[in-house]
Amino acid sequence: MSALKDKVLAALRTVQDPDLKRDLVTLNMIKSVEVDEAAGTVAVEVELTTPACPLKKKIEDDCRAAIAKVPGINKIDITMSARVTTAGQPEGKTALPGVKNVVAIGSGKGGVGKSTTATNIAVALKELGARVALLDLDIYGPNVPGMMGVTGRPKVINKRIIPIEANGVQTMSMGFLVSEDQPLVWRGPMLHGVMKQLIFDVAWGDVDYLVIDLPPGTGDVQLSLSQMVHVNGSVIVTTPQNVALQDVRKGLAMFQKVEIPVIGIVENMSYHLCPACGHRDEIFDHGGGERVAAELGLNFFGAVPLNSEIRRSMDIGRPVAGVRGSEFYKIYRAVAERVAQEVAIRNAAGGSVPIATIKAD
C-alpha cells in the first residue's frame, strides 16, 4: 500500500460516526481509497448504514477536513453511498426473505394520524433512496389504498401476491383484496390467518424498510404481529394534548407487553399554520409529544403540523412526503431520517445477520 494511502486511512481513523461512536475505518464504512501520489489526488467512498442518514453531510465534511490535513493532498473526491443494515436474527426465528428491517407505526388511540404518518414515512424513506414497502394491517378499516392512490387488485403469481407499487413504494392492504362496501367480520383465529397471508404470502422482493400501519387500539393485531415477525421497533404517533398523552403511555405499555421496542414518538397535528396570514395556532397545545418522550426516555422524531394540504394529499393518494415543492416534504423527510437513524443504531448494537426474521411455526 502506498505511504500516502496509509496516511489517508490514518486520517479517516480520526473521523467518528457520531451515532455509532466509533471511527469509520473500524466500522468498515470506508469502501475504497484511491490515491494518485504524483498528482496528490484522493478518491474515497464512504458507505453509510442508511441512505436516510441525517448526518451524511457532517460525516462527509469531517472526512474532507481530516484528509485535508494530510500533507501532499491537493484534491479530495468523496462519494457517499449506503447499504442499509439489518436487525439481528433472534434465535428460533426464520427469515422473511429480502426484508431487512420492519418498523411499525402505532398509537394508544384512534384517529391521531397513524396511517398518514406511516404512508408519509414510507414515501419519505423512498425519496431518500431506500427500497421501501408499506403494509396496511388495519384489516377492518384499511386506509392505505386511498392514501396511496391504489385502485386495482394485486396480481398473484406462483401463489404469491405481488404488492402494488404506488408512489415508489411496494404496497399491500386488505383493501386490495375485498371490495370497499364488504363488511369484514372475523373472529380472532381468522384474523391471525389473514395477517399471515398479508405478511408471508406476499412477494416483497428486496426491501430495506417494511413500514407497517397498525390499527387503532391495543388489540390482537399487535400481539399476532409480534409473534409472527421480528419487528425492529415501533413509532408511536400522538397529538399534543394531555388526553392523547395518556394514550401514549397506554401504547407504550402495550408494545412493552408484546415485546416490540418503541423507538420514538411523532407528534402529529402539532400546530396549525394559517395559510392566509401565517399565524401559528397551537390548537391542541404544543410540545406535549416532546415532553412525554423526555419523561419516558424515548426519542422524539419530530412534530408535524395540522394542515389542510396534508389532509388533501391523503385524500387524493399523493402523500406530501413525495411532493418536492411542498413545505411538508422536509418535515417528513426529517422524521424518516430520525427513524432510519434509530434503526441503524439499534442494528449496530444488536448484531448483523443480514435478514429480518419471523418466528418458525
Ligand X SMILES: Nc1ncnc2c1ncn2[C@@H]1O[C@H](COP(=O)(O)OP(=O)(O)OP(=O)(O)O)[C@@H](O)[C@H]1O
Q: How far is the CB of 268 from Mg ion (least distance, A)?
A: 12
Q: How far is the CB of 247 from ligand X (least distance, A)?
A: 11
Select the residue interacting with ligand X from 304, 320, 339, 355 (CB under 6 A). 304
Q: Is 109 in the site for Mg ion (CB under 5 A)?
A: no
Residue 30 or 212 having the CB closest to ligand X = 212
Q: How far is the CB of 120 from ligand X (least distance, A)?
A: 9
Applying CB under 6 A, the span of 136-144, 254-262, 294-302, 342-350 interacting with ligand X comes to 136-144
Q: Please, are residues 113 and 314 in contact by the beta-carbon 8 Å criterion?
A: no
Q: Is 114 in the site for ligand X (CB under 6 A)?
A: yes
Q: How far is the CB of 333 from ligand X (least distance, A)?
A: 15
User: Which parts of 122-151 interact with Mg ion (CB under 5 A)?
Assistant: 143
CA distance 31 to 46: 6
Question: Residue 219 corresponds to which amino acid?
Answer: G
Q: How far is the CB of 315 from Mg ion (least distance, A)?
A: 14
Residue 353 has a CB neighbour count (10 Å cut-off) of 15
Q: Residues binding ligand X: what is the number (CB under 6 A)?
A: 21
Select the residue interacting with ligand X from 169, 310, 340, 343 (CB under 6 A). 310
Residue 114 or 126 having the CB closest to ligand X = 114
CA distance 169 to 127: 10
E strand residue ranges, the chain: 30-36, 41-48, 75-82, 93-95, 99-106, 132-136, 156-157, 160-161, 164-166, 169-173, 207-213, 233-238, 262-273, 280-281, 300-306, 357-359
Q: Is 357 in the site for ligand X (CB under 6 A)?
A: no
Residue 47 three-state SS: strand
Select the residue interacting with ligand X from 15, 66, 96, 112 (CB under 6 A). 112
CA distance 361 to 358: 9
First to last CA, the chain: 51
CA distance 241 to 247: 10
Select the residue interacting with Mg ion from 114, 126, 318, 346 (CB under 5 A). 114
Applying CB under 6 A, the span of 36-44, 107-115, 176-184, 227-235 interacting with ligand X comes to 107-115
CA distance 87 to 230: 8
Q: How far is CA 297 from its chain centroid? A: 20
Q: Is 116 in the site for ligand X (CB under 6 A)?
A: yes
Applying CB under 6 A, the span of 80-88, 254-262, 274-282, 309-317 interacting with ligand X comes to 309-317
Residues that bind ligand X (CB under 6 A): 107, 110-116, 138, 141, 143, 215-216, 268-269, 304, 306-307, 310-311, 314
Residues that bind Mg ion (CB under 5 A): 114-115, 143
